[in-house]
Amino acid sequence: MLAQLDKTPLDRLFHALADPSRMRMVERLCRSPASVSELAQPLDMSMSAVMQHLDVLQASGLGRSEKVGRVRTFHIETNGLRTAEHWISERRTSSERRFDRPRN
């Protein structure tokens, strides 16, 4: 276990993306909302593992769910994607600006 500063919402977003199963779920949800069984279908894992991954996505702000009758449907939260993208984009731009700067 590495020494750590306190977690922030951004770490939680990157942590949620740092797993191939959750990345697949995000890809699927970006196409359309989906039920738990639709999300589980391409993944070779128990329903309880799928639910744990979905909990991580929801806690990070990348997903939300709603229940209508007996069916729970998951949706992507575009704002979560936008927040993570913005952080990386700012860093990348600042590092590229540095390379473009004339050297004295």
Contacting residues toward its own copies, per CB under 8 A: 2-8, 10-12, 14-15, 17-21, 23-24, 26-27, 29-32, 43, 45-46, 49, 52-53, 56, 76, 78, 81-82, 84-85, 87-89, 91-92, 94-96, 98-99
Amino acid at 104: N
Separation of alpha carbons 21 and 51, rounded Å: 11
Give the distance from CA 40 to its chain's centroid. 16
Give the H or E element holding residue 74: strand 71-76
Least Å from the CB of residue 41 to its own copies: 14
Angle at CA of residue 54, ends 48 and 56, nearest 5°: 110
Least Å from the CB of residue 76 to its own copies: 5
Least Å from the CB of residue 100 to its own copies: 11
15 or 72: whose CB is closer to its own copies?
15
